[in-house]
Every structure is written in C-alpha cells, then in structure tokens.
Amino acid sequence: MSRVIPLWKRFTSSSRTRILFFLGLFTAYLLVFTVILHMVYPVWEGEAISWEEAVLFVVETVTTVGYGDLLPFESEYTILFTIVMIISGVFLIFMFIPLLLAPALSEHIRASPPRRLPAPMENHVVIVGSGEGIRALIESLEIADLPLVIVEEDRSRAEDLLQRYRKQAAIIWGDFSDAETWRNASIADAGSVVVCAREGVAASVILGVRGMTKARIIAVVDNLGYDRYLRYAGAEYVLSPKTVAGRILGRHAITGSPGETILGISRTAAETESGLSLLSLVSVPVMAGSRAVGRTFADLALPERYGISVLFFWKGGSFDRFPRGEDRIDASTMLFLLGREEDINRAFREEIAGEAQENEIAVIAGYGDVGRAAYRELRNAGVECTVIDRQDHRVNVIGEAEDEEALRAARIEEATTCIVALNDDNATVFTTLMARNLNPDLRILARANSHAAVDKLYLAGADYVSLLPTIGGQSIADIILAGIVRVLLDLPDGGRVVMRRALKRSEVRVKTVERRCGVRIAGIEGEGRALVGPAPDETVMQGDAVIAVGDPAAIRRFIRFI
C-alpha cells in the first residue's frame, strides 16, 4: 500500500502521465480482444479468421463504425462477445474524454479573462496590478476566507493570472483609467484596495478610485520617498517591501538584547498602557561566544526556569517547528521565544548572551533600498557599518560585492555580521559563498528575490534569508487582516503563528480548540494572566487573546471557531 499511494499521486498530478497510461491501456485492450477473437471465432463460427481480420473487427467494434464481411454471426457466443466488446470499448472512450482529454485540453487552451465579475461582491479585496508579491499576498489572505479580485490592465498578464489563480481569486482585465473597470470590480463595496504598480501609475489609479469607494487604499511601491504624494492622492497606507525587508535584516543582525530583535506581536497604545503583563514573540540569534552554544534545549530548561517557550528554531539553514530536548544549539541557531518580556530578557542575559563586543562590525553588500534600510537600523543601534556598492553613495568601499578584494577592503574577516542586499540573486549567492569562506564565524543575512534562490543561499552559507516578495505580501496582509486576526509569523513550511481574540464563545478548553481546529495553542493573554504553553484543561475565556500555530486550513478553522 505504501508503494501504491506515491504511484497514484504521480498518476493524478500529471496530464501527460494520465494520457500515456490511457494509451497503454487502450493498446492492451485491442491486443487482448484481438487475440481472444482470433482464438474463439473459428470455434464458435466454424470459419477461420486471419489476424488482419481480427484486428479490423476489434477496431470497427470499438469505434462503432460498423462491420464488414464477418456478419451475420451464427453463434450466440460471438454475439455476446461482441456486446461485451462494444460496452467496454464505449466505456473506455467515454472515460478518456472527461477524465483525461478534457483536463489536458483545458491546460493548453487559455481562457480569455472576463471584463466583469460574474456576480457582485462586497467586503472583498481588490488587488490592482500583478507585482511580485501577489502570490505571497494571496497565500497570506487565504486564512481569512476573504473574496479576492485581481484587476490587470494588460490582457496577456491577465491571462497568465487567470491560469495561476483562478481557484483563489476572480480575475478581470480592463483599462485602469476607465471608471467602468472599477465598477465591474464592485469597488464601491470593497473592503480593501491594494495597488501594486509603479509610483506614477499607482497615483493615477488611487486618484481614479478614491471617490468610488470607502475601502482603505494600500499602495505598494519601491521607493518610500513618494510616500507623501501617494497619501495626498488618497492612499491610507504606503508600503515598500524593500524597506521592510531591509529593516528585518537589520534587526536580525542586532544582538545586543532580545528587545532589539523583531517583535512579532505589535501592540496598540491601549494595550501598552494597560499595565498588564503581555506576551512577546521574539527572535534571538545565538552568536559565537554565546553561553548557549553546545548546550541542548533540555540543558537550558527555559520553560521550567523562566516560563518561556522555544516555539521554533533555525539551525544551519534548516527550520524546525518542533524543538526537542536533545536538539543541540550552535552559533548558526536562531531561537523564536514566546513569553513575558521581562522573562525573555532575564533568560537572554543569563543563558544566551555572549561576551559583549566593543567594536561590532557589520558589512552591508549593496546600498539600494534594502541595504539603506538595513544600514539605518544598524546605525541607530550603534553598530559600525562598512558598505560595499558599485556606485558612489558616499559608501566605504566602491566595487562589486562578489569581488574578494572588495570584501577584504570592507574588513569581512573582522566582521561579526554580513548583510547581502544585492538585487541579483546569482550575485547574492556568490557573495554569500565568498563571505562564508573568508570568515567561517560570520553571521550572514541575505535578501532573495525568488523562491528558487532561498535554498541556494542556505547551501552557500547564509544563516537567514529574507524573501522579498513574501515580505511584501505578508506586510499587506497584516493591514487587511488587522480586524480579524494578527499574523505574528509566517513559517517557512507554510504554517502561521496568529493571535486572535476569542469573541464567539463564553469559555472553551484549550484541548477542545486544538482538537476541533487542528492548531497548537502556544499562549493566552487575558485579564490578569499571561500563559505560555497552557495546559489542555486550561480555559479560554471570552475576550482572551489566543496565540495559535497551524497550517492555513487549521488557522481558518480556528478563526471560525473562536
């Protein structure tokens, strides 16, 4: 059975495999019936039949085109045999058309994208354009069951979107400057409008739709320098995935205290001023010289001694969602800790922090939008930075980052951290490879533009990779989902860490939520309590904020349930 399942998956996943299978089955059918007919016809009819006549008879029967000289039959057995052959042949052909031929044809015949929605929508998300972050945005929004509409001005790109996302979103195409396009997208009743286009096009679209809808308008741009113009045009939010990615890389490089790393849980002013003991989700890189290097999670005993939980960890470019006591920590490990901020700070000082370095040096390869954002984060934290770029932006080293002499001039061998923020994935991979070779103890954080580059960067020696399209999609989704659920962390294996306030039930036990939804409850915040790793019999009260971990389908059930 274990061998049958992979074969069946392979058969059902490829139209070419299915067609080849049918052709083989059809050939076998013809051969078997030809041999049987050649053997039994002389016995039943008392006349010899040649192989050519047997093949002709079988083909005539299967294709239902009629018969030649073999009729009429004398034997009732021949008649019965012919009936069986006709029924099985017709079944085989009609099975081929809907199950094999139709799907294969549909994959090659591109449907024309419609001009309007098949039916009016409301409270949906209208995505304008087809930027690189579309895939990540759709994946991030799928947990909330929000209707999606993608509007594209270019017909060929709209056709491509239709082939890729027809199951996840409605696709329409039309002129961005034509008001009818937006009426066809039911923009008046939309909940959010996301504009993914160049700054000039984005401004024109925003000016055109802002009077037609009350939806919040989110502009996604490369350069945040145009922020105020797009806001003046009518955008409520202006995001730059490159700037966000640079900030993330910069914060991952700061090792002074866990409070300076990425905080997964953003807080409202009311929550911050409430005085309650709130939970923090923090990423903590383990550096060379840390007291935690060489120890296991069982040795650290963070839950027992500090009341904090290691939700996940990275190690050597591999992500592990389920830490075990025997897992050993090294200088490539990054911990994701959940707990009260004061408990995390105490554990960091006593168990994780290494010896303070007076002259911490970071090398930044590339000084575009990503590199500049990372540079600002590091400089604000007091980290000395050396920048390499091919253009003179008043950088320290002018040259190619993938040049060994440029890396040496930037003091790569003395550095503690290197951020590779180049716009070319191949150059990023090669620079990472060289930096790792020149300084084996270096902590390398890299930017990737495509999914294909992520694994290559980890193999080249990167400790952490920020995928630019994913960062953009997640940042947009955070705004859209704010009233439904907070996405604290998107996991590399497709899972999510979310926080949602329990509103639908007066009280329910943790084990019931986990069993019904298929999630893991990692923490609960409520009036006068903040629980990490709550017991199965712990009660979730109405109004509690619940932190859950699960795949998108499980998170959808979780949102519906509580």
**pLDDT value of residue 6:** 46
- Domain shared by 348 and 368, yes or no: no
Domain edge (last residue) among 108, 133, 150 = 108
CB-count burial class (<10 Å; 0-12, 13-18, 19+) for 108: exposed
Q: How far apart are CA 137 and CA 142, in angstroms?
A: 9
Q: Which residues pair with 194 in a beta bridge?
A: 127, 218
- List the CATH number of the domain containing 220: 3.40.50.720
The answer to whether residues 229 and 134 belong to one domain is yes
264 confidence band (pLDDT: 50, 70, 90): very low
Dihedrals phi, psi of 7, to nearest 5 degrees: -65, -40
Look at residue 261 in the predicted model and tell me its pLDDT.
44
CB atoms within 10 A of CB 304: 8
The pLDDT > 90 percentage for the chain reads: 43
Q: Which two tokens stand for residue 289?
A: 């010289």
List the structure tokens of 76. 């009732």
Place of tokens 């509007």: 151
Is residue 125 helix, strand or coil?
strand
Does 494 share its domain with 448? no
Whether 222 and 272 map to the same domain: the answer is: no
Q: Per residue in 347-404, pLDDT tens? A: 988 888 766 556 788 999 999 999 999 999 999 888 889 999 988 877 788 889 989 9
State how beta strands 486-490 and 464-467 pair.
Answer: unpaired
CB 54 within 8 A of CB 81: no
CATH (domain of 93): 1.10.287.70
pLDDT in tens, 437-472: 999 988 899 999 988 899 899 999 998 899 998 888
Q: Which residues contact 406 (CB under 8 A, 6 or more apart)?
A: 388, 397, 399, 400
Is 37:54 a contact under the CB 8 Å cutoff? yes
* pLDDT over 90 (residue 151): yes
Q: Are residues 207 and 271 in the same domain?
A: no
Residue entry with tokens 């009629």: 66
Both tokens assigned to 409: 């001039």
Are 36 and 67 part of one and the same domain? Answer: yes
What are the tens digits of pLDDT across the range 233-250?
Answer: 999 999 999 999 999 898
Q: Is the pLDDT of residue 255 over 70?
A: no
Q: Is residue 120 part of a domain?
A: no
Check residue 303 and give left, alpha or beta (phi > 0: left; psi -120 to 50: alpha): alpha
Which amino acid, one-letter code, is at 200? G
pLDDT of 74 > 80? The answer is no
398: in domain = yes
Flag whether 546 is in a domain: yes
pLDDT per residue as tens digits for the range 34-73: 888 788 878 877 788 888 878 877 777 776 666 556 666 6
Q: Given 62, 80, 108, which residue is the final one in a domain? A: 108
Residue 154: what residue type? D
Residue 438 lies in a domain: yes
CB hemisphere CA count around 478 (13 angstroms):
18
Residue 192 near residue 121 (C-beta atoms within 8 A): no
Q: Is residue 459 part of a domain?
A: yes
Note whether 322 and 233 are same-domain residues: no
Q: What is the CATH number of the domain that holds 326?
A: 3.30.70.1450
What pLDDT score does 412 carry?
A: 94
Helix axes 510-517, 552-561, angle to 10 degrees: 130
Asked if residue 54 belongs to a domain, the reply is yes
What mean pLDDT is predicted for residues 114-139? Answer: 89
Buried b (16+ CB within 10 A) or exposed e, 118-130: eeebeebbbbbbb
What pLDDT score does 9 carry?
Answer: 47
If asked whether residues 446 and 498 sit together in one domain, one would say no
Task: Convert the pLDDT of each residue in 302-347 to its tens digit.
Answer: 999 999 999 999 887 788 989 999 999 988 888 999 999 889 989 9
Same domain, 343 and 367: no
Q: How many CA atoms lie within 13 A of 237 on its CB side?
A: 19
Mean of pLDDT values over 527-547:
91
Sequence-ordered list of residues with C-beta below 8 angstroms from that of 550, at least 6 positions apart, any chain: 495, 496, 517, 518, 519, 520, 558
Residue type, 420: V
Helix or strand run (H / E) with residue 205: helix 199-209
Nearest to 453 by CA among 468, 442, 435: 468
Say which amino acid occupies 408: R
Q: Of the candidates 254, 281, 289, 227, which has an alpha carbon nearest to the alpha carbon of residue 381?
A: 254
Pair 511, 549 in one domain: yes
The answer as to whether 250 is a domain residue is no
3-state secondary structure 130-144: CCCCHHHHHHHHHHH
Q: Which residue would you say has higher pLDDT here, 181 or 9?
A: 181
Token pair belonging to 183: 């009426």
Can you tell me the distance from the alpha carbon of 533 to that of 554, in angstroms, rounded to the nearest whole number? 18
Residue 340 structural domain: 257-352
Strands (E), 268-360: 279-285, 309-315, 318-320, 334-340
Residue 535 in domain = yes
Angle at 198 between CA 196 and CA 203, to 5 degrees: 85
Q: Give me 323's structure tokens.
A: 């830490």
Supply φ then ψ for residue 67, to 5 degrees: -125, 165
**CB burial string 484-510: b at 16+ within 10 A, e below:** ebbbbbbbeeebbbbbbebeeeeebbb
In angstroms, the CA 445 to CA 466 distance is: 8
CA atoms 487, 488, 492, 493: torsion sign: negative
167 vs 53 pLDDT, higher one: 167
- Residue type present at position 40: V
Q: What backbone torsions phi and psi does residue 138 show, to the nearest 5 degrees? A: -60, -45
User: Furthest-apart CA pair in the chain: how many Å?
Assistant: 104
* pLDDT band, residue 95 (cuts 50/70/90): low
| Token digits of residue 172 | 């329409």
Q: How many domains does the chain have?
A: 5
**Listed residues 108, 142, 157: the one ending a domain:** 108
Say how many C-beta atoms besides its own lie within 10 A of residue 199's C-beta.
Answer: 18
Residue 296 structure tokens: 């296991």
512: pLDDT strictly greater than 50 = yes
Identify which has the larger pLDDT, 227 or 54. 227
Residues 224 and 158 placed together within one structural domain of the fold: yes
More confident residue, 12 or 71: 71
Distance in angstroms (rounded) separating the CA atoms of residues 498 and 465: 22
In this structure, the answer to whether residues 148 and 69 fall within a common structural domain is no
